[in-house]
Amino acid sequence: MNESELNERTAEVRRAVAEAAHRAGRDLDGVEILPVTKGFPASMVRLVTAAGFLAVGENRVSEAEAKRAELERTAPPAVAWHMIGHLQRNKSARAVTLFDRIDSVDSLRLASRLAAELEAIDRTELPVLVQVNASGEASKGGFDVAGAVDAVRAIRNLPRLRVRGLMTMAPFDAPEAELRAVFGRTRRCLEACQNEILGFDGSVLSMGMSGDFEIAVEEGATQVRLGTALLGERPR
C-alpha cells in the first residue's frame, strides 16, 4: 500500500464512520479510528502517521518491539502505541516500557502485575482499558458483564494504573442482532461503571473491528480498531 491508497481508504472509512454516527444521532468527533498495524511492516506505521493518525494498535509485544526498534534507527514517528491483544503476565515488564496504553487488561492478576512493574521502573502512570467478555465466549478473555463494575473499581484502586474505559471483542461473523446485543451490553456496562464508581468518567468504549465497526459506532463505540478495512490485506 502507498500513501495515495491509504488516503483513499482513510476517506472511505471516515465516511462510513460518519454515516453510522449520523444514523445513531452521534457526533463524528466522538469516534476515534485506531489503525491496527499487527502483521504489517514498520513502514506502515510511518504511513498511518503521515495520514494523520495519532496511535496504532499492536497485538504482540515482540512484534511491537521490533517495529519500534526499526523505526527509531531513523526519525521515529510521533505515534502512541496501544497493546490491543492478550498480554501474558510474563511480558508485563516489557509491555510497560513499550506501550503508551494497554487496551486489554483482562484479569486482576494482570492488572496487579502491571502495577508492580510500573513501580519497578518508576513510571508514574499507565492508561488502560478493562476488557469485558460481553459475548460469553470461552475463547475470549475479559471480565464477565456481571463482574465488570467490581473489576474496574478494583483496578482503579491499584497504584499507577489509570482506567480510561472498556474494551470488548464481538464474535466473528455473528448476525447483526447478536453483534448489537454484545455491543449494547458493553455500553451499558460502561454506563454502570460511570454511575456506580465515584470519579470514574470512562471516556473510552473500544469496540468494533473491520467486519462490524459501523454497528459498533451505532451502538456507542468511541473507538474502533481497524486493520484490513483501513490498511488492506496483511502480507502473507
71 occurs within a structural domain: yes
Written as nine digits, the cell of 138 is 470461552
Burial of residue 8 (number of CB atoms within 10 Å: 0-12, 13-18, 19+): exposed
**pLDDT computed for residue 234 by the predictor:** 87
> How many domains does the chain fold into?
1
Taking CA atoms, 27 is separated from 31, 98, 161, in Å, by 8, 32, 29
Sheet holding 223-226, edge to edge: 32-35, 223-226, 204-206, 161-167, 126-131, 101-105, 80-83, 55-58
Helix axes 3-23, 42-50, angle to 10 degrees: 60
CATH number for the domain that contains residue 156: 3.20.20.10
236 occurs within a structural domain: no
**pLDDT computed for residue 76 by the predictor:** 86
196 occurs within a structural domain: yes
Which amino acid makes up residue 174? A
17 occurs within a structural domain: yes
Give the domain range for residue 22. Answer: 3-231
**pLDDT computed for residue 42 by the predictor:** 96
Residue 227: HSE in the Cβ half-sphere, 13 Å Cα cutoff: 15
Query: Do 167 and 159 meet the contact criterion of CB atoms below 8 Å apart?
Result: no
105 occurs within a structural domain: yes
Q: How far apart are CA 233 and CA 186, in angstroms?
A: 29
Could you read off the pLDDT of 11-66 as tens digits, one per residue?
999 999 999 999 999 988 889 999 999 999 999 999 999 999 999 999 999 999 99
**pLDDT computed for residue 138 by the predictor:** 87
Cell 482499558 locates to 129
92 occurs within a structural domain: yes
Written as nine digits, the cell of 224 is 474502533
pLDDT of the chain, 236 residues: tens digit per residue = 889 999 999 999 999 999 999 999 998 888 999 999 999 999 999 999 999 999 999 999 999 999 999 999 988 889 999 999 999 999 999 999 999 999 999 999 999 999 999 999 999 999 999 999 999 888 889 999 999 999 999 999 999 999 999 999 999 889 999 999 999 999 999 999 999 999 998 999 999 999 999 999 999 999 999 999 999 998 87
Which amino acid makes up residue 117? E
